Amino acid sequence: MGKLLNAKLDNPVGYIEEYVTRAQFTDGGSTSGTYVLKTAIPVGAHVLGTTYTQITGFTGDTSAVMTVGDGSDVDRYNTGTPSVFTTASAVSAGAPSGTLGHAAAVYPTLTVTSASDFTNVTAGAVNVKIAYIL
């Protein structure tokens, strides 16, 4: 009996990952700064979760939080708001909070929002990893 070959079944779990520094964020002119990841979550993917690793603690306005969204839903890929102001090896961003399935490819958007002004967030870096299943 032959083996049924299907790329989705042979490699069902995937992820996108990118290391981002504070300098790469675009200041929205108010309390938020954003950065769009360079790799898309593919069509048909079902997001499992988001993890922040290699955190070099951001500095400045420590009230700020980071969310991971799709450009419309600011926190589609997380429910938690773990601190990015403390250096850490890995923290979970919580379960996805939006629609998990993808009918189109999506380039996730990181948003850092502070209580005062985004310019008060002055340094830091984080590796963002979003895991999915096809």
Long-range contacts of the stretch 28-33 (C-beta < 8 A, 24+): 28/118, 30/117, 30/118, 31/113, 31/114, 31/115, 31/116, 31/117, 31/118, 32/111, 32/112, 32/113, 32/114, 32/118, 33/111, 33/112, 33/118, 33/121
Structural domain harbouring 69: 13-133
> Which CATH number goes with the domain that contains 84?
2.60.120
**Is residue 3 situated within a structural domain?**
no
Q: What is the pTM of this model?
A: 0.87
Q: What is the pLDDT along the chain (134 residues), one digit of tens a residue?
A: 444 444 555 668 899 999 999 999 999 889 999 999 999 999 999 999 999 999 888 888 777 789 999 999 999 999 987 777 777 888 899 899 978 899 999 999 999 988 888 899 888 899 999 999 98
